[in-house]
Amino acid sequence: MAITPKLIPADQYVQTVVDSIDTARVRIFVLVMILGNDESTDPLLQALKRASGRGVEVSISADSFTLSEIIKPFRPRQSKQKRPITKLKKELENAGIRFQWLGSSASSAVSGRTHSKWIIVDDTTYSFGGINLYDEAFVNTDFMFEIKNISLADSLVREQKRIIESNRRGHAYKSHSLKSDYGTILVDGGLLGDSLIYKRALALTKRAKRVWFISQYCPSGRLGLALKKTDTKLYFNDWRQASPFNAFVIRAGALVSGNHSLYKKSTYLHAKYMIFELHNGKKIAITGSHNFSNGGVWLGTREISLETTDQEIIRQLEAFTRKFVR
């Protein structure tokens, strides 16, 4: 029988993962878009070094978006980053850790990015949420799921190796799905205009009687229009509390779609999930790294989400909505 996944809020994430890493025996695989070198990530980085020193295989893949000066306008507030991120790769490699920057050959700062996020510690996976690894990420309204399942961990390790090889060759691959004990894993491989996650969100919206939409951005494109035709509760950030770039994306999406947000809290909303209630009362959720923005589809970002009918997972998402979003 599969062990029920556990939702880990952003402010508990680092300590939860560090405790897991300190008991690791075989492997640790990290995939992230933004990797910080600051006081908030230091416990995690030190734990990874300790694990490598014990003979554990440690592999880190981070998007080179981290290195770009253009990252600053994307952040909702000023980062406390003080340590040079450029030295981090060498420091980790000196500790015996394999490290790869992804997306250095991307055509622009925002296209071809790896937006997927996970940490795999032996047979435990932390994923299907939106948390990056830098100071602001741990104070945002966000989460990851902790899932103890060897089959899932093996699948995502293979996927990370595929991403690394794809990056080495300088090309993307077609979106696809993977089966799991908790539902269908949806993987966007980075091809321009090809997003299985967005397609599934659109298809389920068209079938739904009621939808709960949570993301940092206003839904856009065909999904944004479809959501107007159903009973939808929309929660996304007020553009005035976002960074300049994010503010533009949010405002433009709201103007084009005519959608309005119910999110009134001051904490920056970074979680990304949708809950669909069908006409027969059945509930389905999609949760992961995708913002459900049409822009990400056409920019060809790599993404991961879980489509699930697991009622315990959906119950935890609903509880998160009540506590942190409404």
Cβ-based neighbours of 88, under 8 Å, separated by 6 or more: 35, 37, 45
Q: How many CB atoms lie within 10 A of CB 107?
A: 11
In angstroms, the CA 287 to CA 254 distance is 22
The one-letter amino acid at 267: T
CB distance 290 to 303 below 8 Å? yes
pLDDT tens digits along 235-275: 999 999 888 888 888 988 888 888 899 999 999 999 999 99
The one-letter amino acid at 231: D
Residue 300, Ramachandran bin (φ over 0: left; ψ between -120 and 50: alpha; else beta): left
pLDDT tens digits along 53-108: 999 999 999 999 888 744 555 565 545 555 778 889 999 999 999 999 999 766 55
* Cα-Cα end-to-end distance for the chain: 34
The one-letter amino acid at 92: L
Mean pLDDT (the chain) is 92
CB distance 42 to 80 below 8 Å? no
Report residue 48 as tokens.
């990874």
In angstroms, the CA 246 to CA 111 distance is 15
Report residue 230 as tokens.
């159903």
In angstroms, the CA 172 to CA 162 distance is 10
The ranges of the chain with pLDDT < 50 are 69-70, 78
Q: Which spans in the chain are helix H?
A: 10-21, 42-53, 88-94, 150-169, 196-207, 221-227, 244-257, 294-299, 311-320
Q: Say what the pLDDT of residue 90 is.
A: 94
C-alpha atoms less than 13 angstroms from C-alpha of 304 in its C-beta half-sphere = 26
CB distance 183 to 310 below 8 Å? yes
Q: What is the pTM of this model?
A: 0.94
